[in-house]
Structure formats: C-alpha cells, structure tokens
C-alpha cells in the first residue's frame, strides 16, 4: 500500500512498484486518512507513506496504523530529511525512512526489510542524525536521568547507537568485545521495549541522550 498526495508521484510509484520483484500494490491513497482506511480494508504487509499530506499527515497515519494494525509495517518515502521529521516518523513507529531520490533497488530492499521486521534508514538521513549527535557531543554530554533501569554502560551503548556506530565500532570505542556489546544491546532493548536500532535512535533523542 502507498500514500502520497501528489497524483504524478502516486501514479509513478504505482507503476514503479508494480515492476519490482516480489511486490504487489494493493492500493494507493491521496492522504493519511485514506491510507489508514485502505490499510484497515486490505491489511498490507507494508505501507509506503509520504510525510506531508492533507487531512492526516504521514506521521499521524504511521502512528495510527502501527497502533491499530501492528501487522503492517511502515516505510516513509519523502523529500523531507530534517531531523525533526525523521525523529517524528521513527517515534510514530516507522520501520524505514527513504528520500524520494532513492533508487528502485533501495526501495525494494527497504520494503522487503520492513516486511521481515528489519529497519532501513537512508544514508543521507543517517548522516544527518549522526551529524546532529556529533554537534551535541561537542557541546558536552547531556545531563539526563537514566530511564527504564538502564545501567551507565547500557546508556553509553545507546548513545553510540544514536551516533550511528556499528557494533564493531562501539566495541572499539568502549574497548570491549562485540559479544559484550550485543549483550548490552539486548538488555537495553528489552528494558526500553525497543524493536530495532531505528527505535533506539528515536528513544535516545527522546530521552535527551542526544539532541538535534
């Protein structure tokens, strides 16, 4: 299922997605309200949604779809890559975030990844989040209270995830093994109720560990 308020973009996406392997387009919506209705009727595996739409924007549509139809994952495809848009979409439950200049191969990978419960964040979007986290680090560490029972080391790992570091890079930064990093990630995900790294980034921003 897809949702975009621009007819030319919407029709183009229908044509494009119809040509991609392993993807069947069940319907297309012109705004968030229609998207929520079509998801309720067709129960798609993935909703590909724009952010800026009338009546109900992509963030609100994502929030409603994820709350009422958790079997449907959401991937955002938009021209807006500002930090607040990214965070709002991730907080609402989006599984992926792509810009509209993404290639067809990137879109199909993101849709299949979302259907499999995995996250995909566009390289430019990830770069902006890392840049925001880096700028915040230069200003000094945020003074926040630990939440959800996270230990100081789990909080360190969460902050580094939000900066865009891989498990290998986190292990090097903290001078521990990758197995230890994975253990910390499993614990903090369980404590904070997180599904994946995309949600961890949003959680870190919401908790004040990093800011834009």
Residues 14 and 86 in one domain: yes
Tell whether the model's pLDDT for residue 142 goes beyond 50: no
Residues 81 and 36 in one domain: yes
Q: What per-residue confidence (pLDDT) applies to 127?
A: 62
Residues 113 and 137 in one domain: no
Residues 110 and 21 in one domain: yes
Q: What per-residue confidence (pLDDT) applies to 132?
A: 54
For Cα atoms 76, 82, 85, give the angle at the middle one, nearest 5 degrees: 45
Q: Which pLDDT band, with edges at 50, 70 and 90, does 98 fall under? A: confident
Tell whether the model's pLDDT for residue 199 goes beyond 50: yes
More confident residue, 145 or 112: 112
Give the C-alpha separation, 148 to 154, whole Å: 11
Residues 46 and 96 in one domain: yes
Residues 104 and 137 in one domain: no
Note the pLDDT tens digit of each residue in 150-175. Answer: 888 888 899 899 888 889 999 888 88
212 within domain boundaries: no
176 within domain boundaries: yes
In DSSP notation, the chain reads: -EE-S-HHHHHHHHHHHHHSTT-----EESSHHHHHHHHHHH--SEEEE-SS-SSS-HHHHHHHHHHH-TTSEEEEEES---HHHHHHHHHHT-SEEEETT--HHHHHHHHHHHHTT--EE-HHHHHHHHHHHHHHHHT--------TT--HHHHHHHHHHHTT--HHHHHHHHTS-HHHHHHHHHHHHHHHT--SHHHHHHHHHHHTSS--
Residues 155 and 105 in one domain: no
Residues 182 and 113 in one domain: no
Q: What per-residue confidence (pLDDT) applies to 145?
A: 47
Comparing CA positions, the residue from 93, 103, 57 lying closest to residue 72 is 93
More confident residue, 185 or 139: 185
More confident residue, 70 or 141: 70
Q: Residue 184 in contact with residue 194, Cβ under 8 Å?
A: no
Compute CA 150 distance to the chain's CA centroid, rounded to the nearest angstrom: 22
Report the domain count for the chain: 2
Residues 41 and 96 in one domain: yes
Residues 100 and 149 in one domain: no
Q: What per-residue confidence (pLDDT) applies to 131?
A: 58
104 within domain boundaries: yes
Residues 103 and 133 in one domain: no
Expressed as residue numbers, the domain containing 192 is: 127-207
Give the C-alpha separation, 43 to 52, whole Å: 23
Residues 43 and 101 in one domain: yes
Mean pLDDT, the chain, rounded, equals 83
Note the pLDDT tens digit of each residue in 49-81. Answer: 998 888 888 989 999 999 999 999 999 988 866
- CATH number for the domain spanning 70: value is 3.40.50.2300
Give the C-alpha separation, 114 to 109, whole Å: 8
Q: What per-residue confidence (pLDDT) applies to 62?
A: 93
Q: Which pLDDT band, with edges at 50, 70 and 90, does 118 fall under? A: confident
Tell whether the model's pLDDT for residue 123 goes beyond 80: no
């Amino acid at each position: 299922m897809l949702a975009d308020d621009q007819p030319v973009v919407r029709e183009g996406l229908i044509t494009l997605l119809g040509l991609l392997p392993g993807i069947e387009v069940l319907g297309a919506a012109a705004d968030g309200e229609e998207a929520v209705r079509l998801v309720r009727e067709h129960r798609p595996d993935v909703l590909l949604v724009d952010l800026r739409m009338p009546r109900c924007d992509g963030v609100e549509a994502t929030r409603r779809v994820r709350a009422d139809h958790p079997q449907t994952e959401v991937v955002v495809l938009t021209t807006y890559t500002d930090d607040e848009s990214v965070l709002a979409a991730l907080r609402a439950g989006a599984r992926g975030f792509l810009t509209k200049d993404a290639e067809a191969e990137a879109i199909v990978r993101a849709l299949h990844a979302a259907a499999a419960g995995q996250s995909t964040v566009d390289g430019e979007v990830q770069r902006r989040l890392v840049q925001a986290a880096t700028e915040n680090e230069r200003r000094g560490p945020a003074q926040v209270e630990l939440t959800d029972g996270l230990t100081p080391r789990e909080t360190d790992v969460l902050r580094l995830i939000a900066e865009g570091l891989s498990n290998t890079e986190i292990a090097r930064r903290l001078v521990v093994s990758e197995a230890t990093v994975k253990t910390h990630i499993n614990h903090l995900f369980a404590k904070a109720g997180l599904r994946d790294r995309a949600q961890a980034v949003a959680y870190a921003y919401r908790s004040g560990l990093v800011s834009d």
